[in-house]
A and B are shown apart, each in its own frame.
Chain A
Amino acid sequence: MNLNLRTDFTISTRHKYNGFHCALPSLLKLPISPLPRFSPAHFFQNPPVLSLSLSAASGGCGIRGGGGGCDLQKGEVAMALAFDEYGRPFIILREQEHKTRLRGLEAQKANIAAGKAVARILRTSLGPKGMDKMLQSPDGDVIITNDGATILEQMDVDNQIAKLMVELSRSQDYEIGDGTTGVVVLAGALLEQSEKLLERGIHPIRIAEGYEMASRIAWDHLEQISQKFEFSVTNIEPLVQTCSTTLSSKIVSRRKRDLAAIAVEAVLAVADLERRDVNLDLIKVEGKVGGKLEDTELVHGIIVDKDMSHPQMPKRIEDAKIAILTCPFEPPKPKTKHKVDIDTVEKFQTLRQQEQKYFDDMVQKCKDVGATLVICQWGFDDEANHLLMHRNLPAVRWVGGVELELIAIATGGRIVPRFQELTPEKLGRAGIVREKSFGTTKDRMLYIEQCANSRAVTIFIRGGNKMMIEETKRSIHDALCVARNLIRNNSIVYGGGSAEISCSVAVEAAADRHPGVEQYAIRAFAEALDAIPMALAENSGLQPIDTLTAVKSQQVKENNPYCGIDCNDVGTNDMREQDVFETLIGKQQQILLATQVVKMILKIDDVITPSDY
Chain B
Amino acid sequence: MAIERLLKDEATEEKGERARMASFIGAMAIADLVKTTLGPKGMDKILQSTDRGRSLTVTNDGATILKSLHIDNPAAKVLVDISKVQDDEVGDGTTSVVVLAGELLREAEKLTMAKIHPMTIIAGYRMAAECARNALLQRTMDNKQDPEKFREDLMKIAITTLSSKILSQDKEHFAKLAVDAVMRLKGSTNLEAIQIIKKAGGSLSDSFLDEGFILDKKIGIGQPKRIENAKILVANTAMDTDKVKIYGARVRVDSMAKVAQIEAAEKEKMREKVQKIVAHGINCFVNRQLIYNFPEELFADAGILAIEHADFDGIERLALVTGGEIASTFDNPESVKLGHCKLIEEIMIGEDKLIHFSGVEMGQACTIVLRGASSHVLDEAERSLHDALCVLSQTVNDTRVLFGGGWPEMVMARQVDELARRTPGKKSHAIEAFSRALQIIPTIIAGNAGLDSAELISQLRAEHHKENSKAGIDVITGNVGDMEKLGISESFKVKQAVLLSATEAAEMILRVDEIITCAPRKREDRM
Contacts and interface: CB of A to CB of B under 8 A. Distances in A.
Interface in A107-136: 109-110, 113-114, 117-118, 121, 124, 129, 131-136
Contact of B1 (A110, A138, A337): A110
Contact of B3 (A117, A131, A341, A359): A117
Interface in B463-517: 497, 500-501, 504-505, 507-508, 511-517
* A113, A131, A387: residue with the most chain B Cβ atoms closer than 10 Å: A131
B248 A290 contact: no
B230 interface: no
Q: For chain B, what secondary structure do more than half of its interface residues adopt (helix, strand, loop), or is it mixed?
A: mixed
Contacts of A438: 89
B335 A440 contact: no
Q: Which 7 A-B pairs have the closest CB atoms?
A: A386-B328, A131-B513, A138-B521, A464-B501, A132-B511, A290-B89, A464-B504
Interface stretch (B261-269, B277-285, B440-448, B449-457): B261-269
B390 interface: yes
Interface stretch (B169-177, B186-194, B195-203, B408-416): B186-194
B56 interface: no
Contact of B250 (A131, A159, A339, A466): A339
B88 interface: yes
A154 interface: yes
Interface string B304-334: 0000000000001001100001111101100
Nearest to A146: B511
B324 to A, nearest CB: 9
B interface, size bucket: 35 or more
Contacts of B507: 251
Contact of B328 (A134, A251, A382, A443): A382
A386 B236 contact: yes
A279 interface: no
Contacts of A93: none
A382 B119 CA distance: 56
A440 B191 contact: yes
Interface stretch (A206-214, A344-352, A396-404): A344-352
8 contacts: A155-B516, A155-B518, A251-B511, A340-B250, A342-B253, A344-B261, A383-B328, A442-B192
Contacts of B236: 382, 386
Given A342-B251, A467-B508, 7 more contacts: A134-B514, A251-B511, A341-B252, A389-B325, A464-B85, A464-B505, A467-B78
Contacts of B82: 464-465
B85 A290 contact: yes
B6 A440 contact: no
Interface stretch (B38-46, B239-247, B346-354): B239-247
Nearest to B393: A440
A468 interface: yes
Contacts of B88: 289-290, 439-441, 443
A331 interface: yes
Interface string B117-149: 111100000100000000000000000000000
Contact of A343 (B3, B251, B516): B251
B224 interface: no
Contacts of A385: 328
Contacts of A121: 13, 514, 516
Given A311-B319, A312-B319, A351-B249, A136 B326 contact: no
Interface in B88-122: 88-91, 117-120
A351 to B, nearest CB: 6
B11 interface: yes
A159 B316 contact: no
B265 A345 contact: yes
Contacts of A131: 118-119, 511-514
Given A157-B6, A157-B8, A351-B249, A465 B515 contact: no
B78 A142 contact: yes
Nearest to A569: B425
Chain A CB within 10 A, most for which of B192, B254, B514: B514
A139 interface: yes
B74 interface: yes
B512 A340 contact: no
A295 B474 CA distance: 36
Interface string B53-88: 000000000000000000010110110011001011
A358 B329 CA distance: 13
Give the most central of A114, A310, A338, A382: most B CB within 10 Å: A382
A144 interface: yes
Contacts of A425: none
B237 interface: yes
A133 B1 contact: no
A354 interface: yes
A334 interface: yes
A47 interface: no
B19 interface: yes
Contact of A135 (B319, B394, B518): B518
Contacts of B18: none
Contacts of A135: 515-518
A342 B252 contact: yes
Interface in A131-167: 131-140, 142, 144, 146, 151, 154-159, 162
A133 B335 contact: no
Contacts of A389: 325-326
A345 B262 contact: yes
B196 to A, nearest CB: 14
B7 interface: yes
Contacts of A541: 117, 119-120
A292 B497 CA distance: 8
A342 B250 contact: yes
B327 A386 contact: yes
B258 interface: yes
A355 B511 contact: no
A387 B237 CA distance: 12
